[in-house]
């Protein structure tokens, strides 16, 4: 390896300060953070599984609506019957007898229609409860969307951070290798002692170990990126924070979070569903009215007749008087569930409030840490250059130079980490307020609309195929 001049070594040190993770120009062929988030929104299996869960919940509505619809069934039967006997023809039982009997094949078909007329408003309440469950499931999907988008932004910035840190550590190894070479040259001419050489060797070995650790961290971050985004990371462009989408004050962030965070809105729908369940259970105390219409055609019913047709229409009113007390227990139980859901709502609001405050503090700290880290890097550069100049005239030792070099590397790592935290915390704050969404981020991707499947199955009377053809 050729020896580096003093100016070349200074340029190598300055190169340690060139890595920027935010607010840098974007090359044309680089992957951007919005495009990576769009890929995660489209490909992430956990998010797609949650969409399937919403579609499963959609089916509860047509199931509840079936209570309004008639139930029709058809029956058919066929059999064989054999009868034999003798009949007295007169004489008070003492006269002659005549045989009778034979074989018949009784058979018949029938159709029955049952129509509910009134069941204590339970069908209507079941429909509204199912619609509330669908709304809650959609809010659960919003929770998952926010989590995947946040995980995607975190994975993206982690790859950027660990790539930059690996580059810093490798450059540090190069600088320390040149430092060791020059220290050995100075030892050969008697300017320094064997101790100085050992110190340079020790610091180089530590730098190589740190570079290996940085390689391991980058491999882990790349694997996490692949898991969340769905593709291997290529060349990544710097990320940008999303402060413009968050409230300007902590009070505004808390107010938005406690009203619009999907965890809170999902709990609100949970209260509605619980209230409707009380009404459903109370419907067991109401009378029920139903109509049954049936028609039947019989063949070979009797020896004297080959066929018989019958039809009936019956209206039945049932008034419950006492059913063992189960219905009263269910009503009390569902009322307790209403109280539980209200407490859950308060718990979610408190949790969201704490999350928003925590995210706000971490976000503000990340912005301040960047300024502090940049000042630390500038000071470390000046200190390293000064220590090297003083070492040339014998006022500083080799260990002083090595320490100054390590302080600069540590400062650069701190700056890279602060830049990563700056972006991630802006996404975390946006998520805590419930506004981290593909629409809000302006992702260029076709959005998943859960209402499409809902309207496709809501009024379906028959059919076993799902809307996608399966």
pLDDT value of position 27 = 56
pLDDT value of position 184 = 92
Q: In what order do the strands lie in the sheet with 288-302?
A: 71-78, 107-118, 288-302, 305-318
Distances (CA, A) of 177 to 205, 206, 436: 10, 12, 47
Q: Is the dihedral of CA 176, 180, 182, 183 positive or negative?
A: positive
416: nearest Cα among 163, 155, 241, 152: 163
Q: What is the dihedral of CA 36, 41, 42, 44, to 10 degrees?
A: 90
For 40-57, the DSSP string reads HHHH-HHHHHHHHHHHHH
The burial of 462, by beta-carbon neighbours within 10 Å (0-12 exposed, 13-18 middle, 19 or more buried), is given as exposed
pLDDT value of position 17 = 43
pTM summary value: 0.86
What does the alpha-carbon distance between residue 304 and residue 288 come to, in Å, rounded to a whole number?
Answer: 42
What does the alpha-carbon distance between residue 210 and residue 204 come to, in Å, rounded to a whole number?
Answer: 10
Distances (CA, A) of 386 to 93, 241, 375, 381: 141, 36, 17, 9
pLDDT value of position 464 = 86
Q: What is the DSSP letter of 5?
A: P
What does the alpha-carbon distance between residue 356 and residue 362 come to, in Å, rounded to a whole number?
Answer: 10
200: nearest Cα among 220, 225, 183, 218: 183
Q: Provide the residue-wise pLDDT of the chain in tens; the chain has 470 residues.
A: 344 444 444 444 444 444 566 655 555 577 899 999 999 999 999 999 999 999 999 999 999 999 999 999 999 999 888 777 776 666 555 666 666 667 778 889 999 999 999 999 999 999 999 999 999 999 999 999 999 999 999 999 999 999 999 999 999 999 999 999 988 998 998 888 899 899 999 999 999 999 999 999 999 999 999 999 999 998 999 999 999 999 999 999 999 999 999 999 999 999 999 999 999 999 999 999 999 999 999 887 555 557 888 999 999 999 999 989 999 999 999 999 999 999 999 999 999 999 999 999 999 999 999 999 999 999 999 999 999 888 888 888 889 889 999 999 999 999 999 999 999 999 999 999 999 999 999 999 999 999 999 999 999 999 888 887 66
Name the CATH architecture for the domain at 6-69+129-264+360-458: Up-down Bundle (1.20)
């Amino acid at each position: 390896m050729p020896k580096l001049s003093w100016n070349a070594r200074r340029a190598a040190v300055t190169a340690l300060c060139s890595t920027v993770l935010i607010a840098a120009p974007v090359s044309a062929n680089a992957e951007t953070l919005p495009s990576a988030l769009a890929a995660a929104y489209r490909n992430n299996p956990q998010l797609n599984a949650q969409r399937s869960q919403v579609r499963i919940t959609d089916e509860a509505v047509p199931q509840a609506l079936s209570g309004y619809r008639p139930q029709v069934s058809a029956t058919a039967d066929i059999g064989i019957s054999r009868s034999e006997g003798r009949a007295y023809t007169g004489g008070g039982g003492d006269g002659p007898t005549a045989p009778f009997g034979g074989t018949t094949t009784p058979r018949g078909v029938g159709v029955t229609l049952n129509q509910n007329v009134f069941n204590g408003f339970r069908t209507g309440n079941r429909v509204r409860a199912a619609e509330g469950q669908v709304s809650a499931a959609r809010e659960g999907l919003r929770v998952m969307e926010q989590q995947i988008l946040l995980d995607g932004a975190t994975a993206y910035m982690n790859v950027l951070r660990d790539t930059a840190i690996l580059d810093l550590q490798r450059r540090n190894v190069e600088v320390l290798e040149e430092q060791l070479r020059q220290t050995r040259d100075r030892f050969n001419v008697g300017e320094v002692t064997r101790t100085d050489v050992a110190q340079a060797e020790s610091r180089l070995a530590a730098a190589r170990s740190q570079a290996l650790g940085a390689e391991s961290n980058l491999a882990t971050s790349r694997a996490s990126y692949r898991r969340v985004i769905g593709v291997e990371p290529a060349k990544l462009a710097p990320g940008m924070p999303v402060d413009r989408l968050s409230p300007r004050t902590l009070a505004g962030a808390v107010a938005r979070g406690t009203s619009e965070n999907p965890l809170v809105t999902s709990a609100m729908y949970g209260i509605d569903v619980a209230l409707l369940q009380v009404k459903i259970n109370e419907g067991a105390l109401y009378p029920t009215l139903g109509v049954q219409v049936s028609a039947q055609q019989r063949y070979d019913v009797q020896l004297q007749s080959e066929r018989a047709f019958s039809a009936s229409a019956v209206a039945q009113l049932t008034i419950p008087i006492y059913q063992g007390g189960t219905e009263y227990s269910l009503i009390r139980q569902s009322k307790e569930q209403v109280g539980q859901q209200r407490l859950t709502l308060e718990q979610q609001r408190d949790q969201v409030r704490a999350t928003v405050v925590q995210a706000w503090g971490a976000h503000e700290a990340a912005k301040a840490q960047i300024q502090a880290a940049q000042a630390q890097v500038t000071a470390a550069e000046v200190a390293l250059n000064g220590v090297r100049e003083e070492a040339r005239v014998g006022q500083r030792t080799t260990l002083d130079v090595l320490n100054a070099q390590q302080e600069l590397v540590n400062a650069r790592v701190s700056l890279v980490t602060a830049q990563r935290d700056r972006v991630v915390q802006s996404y975390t704050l946006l998520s805590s307020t419930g506004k981290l969404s593909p629409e809000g981020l302006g992702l260029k991707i076709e959005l998943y609309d859960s209402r499409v499947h809902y309207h496709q199955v809501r009024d379906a009377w028959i059919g076993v195929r799902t809307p996608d053809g399966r």
